[in-house]
Amino acid sequence: MKAITLNVSEPVYADFQRFAQEQDRPTSELLREAMELYRQTKIRPVKSLRDLKPSSAGALLQPWSSRGDLLSDFLE
């Protein structure tokens, strides 16, 4: 793990210290957790399929006659 020096305002640090005591955890652990959450949401967000916008693949080449035909096409 890399040791760093971080300058934060007194009120912010006091909030982290108070919450860390309530959770019986070190303040440094909470700060690492906060940094990881920021990294996951802002720097390297994980995309979900639900986040993707629909896109057209073009017109149908032939109409689907039944669901069985579609299944057989996949199995071939």
- pLDDT tens for residues 2-28? 999 999 999 999 999 999 999 999 999
In 10 A of CB 44, how many CB atoms? 7
Residue 13 lies in a domain: yes
- pLDDT score of 55: 87
* Per-residue pLDDT tens digits for 31-57: 999 999 999 999 998 888 888 888 888
Answer for the pair 25, 32: CB distance below 8 angstroms, yes or no: no
Asked if the structure places residue 50 within a domain, the reply is: no
Residue 62 has pLDDT above 80, yes or no: no
CATH of the domain at 15: 1.10.1220
Q: Is 71 a residue whose pLDDT tops 80?
A: no
Would 26 be classed as within a structural domain?
Answer: yes
**What was the pLDDT predicted at 64?**
66
**pTM, 2 dp:** 0.60
Number of domains within the chain: 1
Burial of 60 (0-12, 13-18, 19+ CB in 10 A): exposed
